[in-house]
Amino acid sequence: MRALLLTLIALSFAGSAHAFEPNVNDEMELNVAQAILAIKRADPGIEAFFENAAGYAVFPSVGKGGFVVGGAFGRGLVIVDEQVDGYTSMTQGSIGLQIGGQKYSQFIFFKDATAIDHFRRGNFEFGAQASAVAITAGASADASYDGGVAVFTHAAGGLMIEGSVGGQRFTYQPKE
């Protein structure tokens, strides 16, 4: 199964002129590559963000759950010039009407070097007013950068009903 997955990922990225190519011996890089393929299949228009962004962060698997008080956590990679630039994690807390659990991928595209540098400094967070575009076919067509970033999520499973407020906080560690 792993060999088939590696072959599919390699073939999918071979056709791209300039794309992130995962190290096949690194599980996180393979998970990121799978998440990228999944979001591109769900909305081919997202390719424009991958091509035009100065860099992007991919959280291939974020787990979220809550019952009045909720939280989410995910680990990912920051990609700049189609190379792994560093490692990142996301934590989220929320309070309000909510029940359930879900799993999703999250993508943060950085419009320019200033936005990437702000993220790298570790003082990057999204407050209650930030919104992410949930990917469905064509959803990226009307999306744009806000404050130098564009955020997309791609649901992988579960059900979460919520009317809550909260925020996301991120950490960054450069690749050694």
- Print the domain residue range for 153: 2-174
Share of the chain above pLDDT 90, in %: 47
Position 100 scores a pLDDT of 83
Total domains present in the chain: 1
CA–CA separation, 134 and 112 (whole Å): 23
Most confident of 1-5, 39-43, 50-54: 50-54
Task: Give residue-wise pLDDT tens across range 78-116.
Answer: 999 999 999 999 998 888 877 888 888 999 999 999 999
Categorize the per-residue pLDDT at 2 as very low, low, confident or very high, splitting at 50, 70 and 90: low
pLDDT at residue 134, as a whole number: 66
pLDDT of residue 165: 66
Please report the pLDDT score of residue 173 as a whole number. 96
pLDDT band at 14 (very low <50, low <70, confident <90, very high): very low
Average pLDDT over residues 137-163: 76
pTM for this predicted structure? 0.83
| Rounded CA separation 85/63 (Å) | 24
Name the token pair of 153. Answer: 């999520």
CA distances from 126 to 63, 74, 119, 168 (A): 17, 15, 11, 5
pLDDT in the model for residue 137 = 59
Residue environment code for 148-159, b if the CB has 16+ CB neighbours within 10 A, otherwise e: bbbbbbbeeeee
Mean pLDDT of the chain: 82
Question: Taking 80 as the threshold, does the pLDDT of residue 143 lie above it?
Answer: no
